[in-house]
Every structure is written in C-alpha cells, then in structure tokens.
Amino acid sequence: MNRAMLGLVILALGLACPIGAQAPPAAGTRPADILRRQFDTRLQEIAGTVDGIASYTIVDLTSGDRFARYPDVVLPTASTIKLAVLYELFKQADEGRVQLDAAMPLDRRLAVAGGPGLFYLGTPVLALRDYATMMVMLSDNTATNVLIRRLGMDAVGRRLTGLGLTRTRLRRLMLDLEAARRGDENVSTAGEIAQLLEVFFRGGGLTPKSRDEALAMLKVEKGDLTPLQRGLPDGVEAACKPGELEGVRVDAGIVFARNRPYVFSMMTSYLEDDERGESAIEEASRAAFQFFFRLGAGTDYGRLIGR
C-alpha cells in the first residue's frame, strides 16, 4: 500500500471513530454490557473532576464484576479504618476472647475529641457493644480508642494480614497527631476496603449472628447522611462508614439495592477542595445505584418491569 492510500485509510478510520469516542459495540453485544461500559465511563469522568487523587472499587456482589480506578494505591482511611476494628471485635467475640456485654470503664487517658459522646461524659462504664455502637454510629474517637486498646492494635493487624489485606494498617489511636506526623497513618486502598466489606457481607470468619449484628450497626443512621448515602434514594439501606481528615474524604459500604447488592468504596486525597471530594463520592454513589438498580430490575433486554 502506497503512502497516499495509507493516508486515505487512516483518514477514513478517523472519521468513522473520532478521537476520544468509543468504538460502536460489536454485533451481538448484550445490552447489559453496553450499560456496564457506560457506567465505567461515567465513574472515570466523575473521578477525573476531583482536584486531587480519587480512587474507587465497586463490586457487584451478584456477578463479581468490579469497577476500579487506582484500587491498589495506599491512601489515608480516616475513620473508615473503624471497619477493621469492628471486624476484630466480633471475631474475638466469636472466639470467646471478649464478651460484648462485658462492662468496661472509660480510661480517660484514651479520651480525645471527635464525636459528640464520650469525651464529655466523665468516666462512664459501658459494655463493649455500646462502645462499638458509638464508634460506628457517632464515629466516636474515644470509643474507638477504648476498643483498640482492649482488642490490641497488633491483633487487628494480624487479622487484616490473615484476610489478605496487606496494605490496610491500623498504626495509631484516633487523633494521635504526633503519630500521624511521624508517618504512622492509618491507611488502606479502595480495593482492600471493598474486600473487607465483602467479608462482612458474606460473613467470612464470623458466625451468622455476629455478621448480622455487625451489619446492623453499620446500617444505623449516623446523623447527617454520608456522601455515599446522599447518592441513594430514600429507603435504600447502606451498611457504611465514612471518614474525613484534612484533604481527605472517604466513604465505603454495602448498598442493599433490590436484587443487586453491591460494595462501594471510594477514597480521595490531596484535596484542595474537601467539599468537591465529598460531592464526587456522592455523584459516584448516585451513578452506582442507578446502574445496579437497572440490573436488578431489568430483563436481559433492559425492560424495567415493576420499576
């Protein structure tokens, strides 16, 4: 082929598929596959508007399909690390190492601001279950520190390693700024947070009773809606735990969409505009629900019966 003919072929291909456009689907492509591709593109667009780093992993708990952007990049978890503490609590309860109803007085040396509860209440005596409820529902940092001290930071780390979560690390108590300045940040990846949530959903390593109670705690209303929850219609349950630090916004949970539950995990960091990080998580959550709702309600051809 001479150069003139080659140039005409290239020009024709360029006109048929403009730069930046997706190639048309091949004959026989299933409608659901087109929907998946559109969803993947939408997620990338949303993440691309964040003025820092935006990573996510979204898992279809029915098919196992995954949608991801930078799923293995290690970022600060903020309060979302409390998912690991919650899992360790229920695992140790199943092993008989702790009793959820055992009363434990608050050690004021562990009291820190953050959360509207224990920091202001003197020296109450609460059951471990109550500390866990405050950790999840109010994101109470003092309650979290009590649980970390009781369970053992190293024990949490060993458990995470045993689950294959080698990048997720609990390295400090809540609001230990000196430890954070030393680099002892609590970290994970969007992919590993999603994996931990899959463990909760499927009950990996937990008795059915513990699995159900842990999910019930995570479903409890948390005052203001989280960014993940703001992307969902009223009445849709989400077992989630958000987190925030300076320049960091995270939200992750299991969304119980009808007939199509899924895991949503999104982390943002290096944010110049924290609110933009939150709104991106909300937008991605909304897009995810719209996608999975259609899969759950639709026929193979996309008819949404009973919508």
Residue indicated by tokens 């219609």: 233
CA distance 272 to 251: 18
> Considering all CA atoms of the chain, what is the largest pairwise distance in Å, rounded to the nearest integer?
86
Number of helical (H) and strand (E) elements in the chain, helices listed first: 11, 9
Q: Which pLDDT belongs to residue 99?
A: 97
Which are the contacts of 118, defined by CB distance < 8 A and separation ≥ 6? 106, 111, 124, 134, 140, 142, 143, 146
Three-class SS of 65-84: CEEEECCCCCEECHHHHHHH
Vertex 91: Cα angle to 90 and 94 (nearest 5):
85
Determine the distance from the C-alpha atom of residue 121 to the mean position of all C-alpha atoms in its chain, rounded to a whole number.
31
Give pLDDT, residue 2: 53
The model carries a pTM of 0.88
Residue 146 is predicted with a pLDDT of 92
**Nearest CA to 129 among 172, 86, 170?**
86
Tell me the average confidence (pLDDT) per consecutive run of 10 residues in the chain, 307 residues long: 46 43 67 93 98 97 97 97 98 97 84 65 81 92 92 97 97 77 88 98 96 96 91 97 96 96 98 97 98 90 77
Per-residue model confidence (pLDDT) at position 11: 40
Per the CB < 8 A criterion, the answer to whether 79 and 94 are in contact is: no
30-297: CATH topology is: Beta-lactamase (3.40.710)
Tokens coding 104? 């434990």
CB atoms within 10 A of CB 83: 27
What's the confidence (pLDDT) of residue 30?
A: 87
Domain limits, the chain: 30-297
- Per-residue pLDDT at 13: 42
Q: Which two tokens stand for residue 147?
A: 């649980």
For residues 239 and 266, what is the distance between their CA atoms, to the nearest angstrom? 14
SS3 228: helix
d(CA 101, CA 84): 20
Which residue spans within 140-231 are E strands per DSSP?
A: 187-188
Are the CB atoms for 282 and 47 separated by under 8 Å?
A: no
Token representation of residue 257: 């969409």
Two structure tokens written together for 141? 């940092």
Taking a C-beta distance cutoff of 8 angstroms, is the pair 243, 79 a contact? yes
Q: What pLDDT, on the 0 to 100 scale, is given for residue 303?
A: 83
CB 254 within 8 A of CB 263: yes
